Amino acid sequence: MRGKLGRKYLDLFFVYLNSYPQGIDPLLLWHQAKNQANIEEKKWPYNFVASNDFPTSEKRGVVTGRLLIRDRYIKNEDIVAKESYVGLAAPGGVGSWQRDCKV
């Protein structure tokens, strides 16, 4: 849109790369990666983004639970949305994308 400034953040992510020398069981890579995932999970939420546009970890909350989908044309009971991603944001002003939804 002309005349409007905005910022867009795509999700934050961590990439772990590991390697092994010849002759070592490649399954070791999998075990190392799982161990590193456990280490990183304990560090979450990260506090590495230094920007006024992104709240620090002590200002962010935590949401837990299950996302259930009810679609009577597919199934007569709730479907667990186990592969879904949920994005959360602070409430915006009237007409902002944070309040844009269809019910």
How far is the C-alpha of 49 from the C-alpha of 44, rounded, in Å? 13
Domain ranges across the chain: 27-99
- Rounded CA-CA distance 26/20 in Å is 7
Cα separation, 80 vs 46, whole angstroms: 28
Confidence of residue 78 (pLDDT cuts 50, 70, 90): very high
16-40 pLDDT per residue, tens = 888 888 888 989 999 999 999 999 8
User: What is the predicted pLDDT for the residue at 86?
Assistant: 79
What single-letter DSSP state applies at residue 96?
Answer: S
pLDDT digits over 38-65, tens only? 998 888 777 666 777 777 777 777 788 8
3-state secondary structure of 47: coil
pLDDT at 102: 57
